[in-house]
Amino acid sequence: MKNIAPIYITKPFLPPFEEFNEGLKRIWNSRMLTNFGPLYTELLSCLKNYLQVENLSLVVNGHQALEIAISALQLSGEVITTPFTFASTTHAIVRSGLEPVFCDIRMDNYNIDESKIEALITNKTSAILPVHVFGTPCNVEAIDSIAKQYGIKVIYDAAHAFGVKIGDRGIGSFGDITMFSFHATKVYNTIEGGALAFSNKELARDIYLRQDFGIANSEEVLLPGTNAKMNEFQALMGLLNLKYIDQEIINRQKKVELYRHHLRAIPGIKLLSNNIENLRENCAYFPIVVTEDYGLTRNELALMLQKHNIFPRKYFYPLTMDYACYRGKYRGETPTARYIADRVLCLPIWGEIDSEVIDYICGIISDLYNSYGLA
Ligand SMILES: *Cc1c(COP(=O)(O)O)cnc(C)c1O
């Protein structure tokens, strides 16, 4: 494959243009553009069913959803979280006036290391905010039981984990609240968008008030809420994309198998291992970790791929705790997170990526090992 067009880490999923065009008529007919209209209501019920959660609210984006979750649970003081994540997770804690406390991650699946959480709990801790990184579930049973034992809350950042299930349990049915992101680059999108799944149905009103200025009725405003409503155009995209999501996930699973087949035997290329029983994966990302045996560093490999017009991403480097705005400010020793952040590289993946492109990428990775590998 010579002179291929640039390949980025993902390509947003879109339904057939005619379907969106046709769907717009519903919005023109209702003249309801936002504020919990008929498409919002329909999508809410479809997603509750798809995600297998009892209570759900749809939000304008995942980040706002996370801030609303923190506010609805009235957290205070410190929140134990992972630094191996997208900016949003840590920003949501800090923007809410709380202090992140950084817990190290596991070497096998890069999620928060549940065995290190308890040692970080103080009398100021109000919650744990783990991330199901790359769509792999955290050890939800252990985390939920620690939280129960100490009387603190759990908010899961499931931005990567749409459609993931453990057995027949939706990933959003754990903890107090789970946030999903429906951003364009995620497995399932509503252009921008997000949702909160929650265990206690009383939270529905707390969440609703916070996403619509705290307005209870035409004469009563109960709290200084924000504006974070999902609009009808987003809901339309969501309804259409939902028709294709199962096929999209099957397609992704095949692409992941192909990557694994090619890369499995290359020394120094470590693949994600998530040996959770009865796991329905969504194959949101394809991370590799480049170790010393490979002969080139992660950065060198990324540069070589770029020369071939392949643009993988260093998710997640740097750790959020190392951002200029956070460096040195918060508690937490995270050697494993640092090790992974320095070596991780997410390769391009989406449902319809050409198998030949994957063959091509893996061929480059393999050839480079043959030239530089240490073994
Ligand atoms: C995408 C993402 C978010 C934020 O979601 P948006 O819908 O883009 O606001 C939060 N956390 C993680 C881990 C993400 O990847």
Q: β-strands 279-280, 269-271: how paired?
A: unpaired
Residues of the chain below pLDDT 70: 1-3, 375
Cα(211) to ligand 1 centroid in Å equals 17
Residues 6+ apart with CB under 8 A from 53: 170, 172, 173, 178, 197
Phi, psi at residue 50, to the nearest 5°? -65, -45
Cα(311) to ligand 1 centroid in Å equals 20
Task: From 61, 156, 157, 171, give the residue whose CB has the most ligand 1 atoms within 8 Å, as the site to mutate.
Answer: 157
Both tokens of 322, joined, read 């190392």
Which amino acid is it at 14?
A: L
| Ligand 1 atom nearest 131 alpha carbon | 13
Contact between residue 57 and residue 229 where contact means Cβ atoms under 8 Å apart = no
Cα(63) to ligand 1 centroid in Å equals 6
Q: Cα Rg for the chain, rounded, in angstroms?
A: 21
Provide the 10 A C-beta neighbour count for residue 275: 7
Cα(89) to ligand 1 centroid in Å equals 7
Output the CA angle 146-80-143, nearest 5 degrees. Answer: 25
Q: Does domain 245-372 have CATH number 3.90.1150.10?
A: yes
Nearest residue (by CA) to ligand 1, atom 13, is 86
Task: Return the domain boundaries, the chain.
Answer: 17-242, 245-372
Task: From 10, 58, 59, 63, give the residue whose CB has the most ligand 1 atoms within 8 Å, as the site to mutate.
Answer: 63
Cα(28) to ligand 1 centroid in Å equals 30
| pLDDT at residue 274, rounded to an integer | 79
Nearest residue (by CA) to ligand 1, atom 6, is 62
Helix axes 232-263, 355-372, angle to 10 degrees: 40
Helix%, strand%, coil% for the chain, nearest 5: 40, 15, 40
| Ligand 1 atom nearest 183 alpha carbon | 7
Both tokens of 130, joined, read 């783990």
Q: What is the pTM of this model?
A: 0.97
Residue-level length of the chain: 375
DSSP state of 268: T
Task: From 95, 162, 183, 234, give the residue whose CB has the most ligand 1 atoms within 8 Å, as the site to mutate.
Answer: 183
| pLDDT at residue 275, rounded to an integer | 81
| pLDDT at residue 2, rounded to an integer | 62
- The string of pLDDT tens digits covering residues 117-136 is 999 999 999 999 999 999 99
For the domain 17-242, what is the CATH code? 3.40.640.10
| pLDDT at residue 4, rounded to an integer | 81
Cα(220) to ligand 1 centroid in Å equals 32
Residues 6+ apart with CB under 8 A from 70: 79, 92, 93, 96, 98, 127, 155
Q: Which residues line ligand 1 (CB under 6 A)?
A: 61-63, 85-86, 88-89, 131, 157, 159-160, 181, 183, 194
Nearest to 65 by CA among 99, 88, 85, 87: 88
Nearest residue (by CA) to ligand 1, atom 10, is 88
Both tokens of 15, joined, read 């339904």
Nearest residue (by CA) to ligand 1, atom 2, is 159
Question: SS3 of 123, please?
Answer: coil
Cα(86) to ligand 1 centroid in Å equals 7
User: Does 182 sit behind a cis peptide bond, omega within 30 degrees of 0 on the bond before it?
Assistant: no
| Ligand 1 atom nearest 66 alpha carbon | 10
| Cα 112 from Cα 94, distance rounded (Å) | 19
3-state secondary structure 292-354: HHHCCCHHHHHHHHHHCCECCECCCCCCHHHCCCCCCCCCCCCHHHHHHHHHEEEECCCCCCC
| pLDDT at residue 339, rounded to an integer | 98
Task: From 64, 88, 316, give the residue whose CB has the most ligand 1 atoms within 8 Å, as the site to mutate.
Answer: 88
Nearest to 7 by CA among 316, 346, 294: 346
Which amino acid is it at 71?
A: S
- Alpha helices, DSSP H only, in the chain? 17-30, 38-51, 62-72, 87-95, 140-150, 203-211, 232-263, 298-307, 335-343, 355-372
Contact between residue 89 and residue 157 where contact means Cβ atoms under 8 Å apart = yes
| Ligand 1 atom nearest 62 alpha carbon | 7
Cα 293 to the center of its chain, rounded Å: 30
Contact between residue 342 and residue 319 where contact means Cβ atoms under 8 Å apart = no
Provide the 10 A C-beta neighbour count for residue 109: 19
| Cα 240 from Cα 251, distance rounded (Å) | 18
Task: From 9, 85, 89, give the residue whose CB has the most ligand 1 atoms within 8 Å, as the site to mutate.
Answer: 89
Provide the 10 A C-beta neighbour count for residue 255: 22
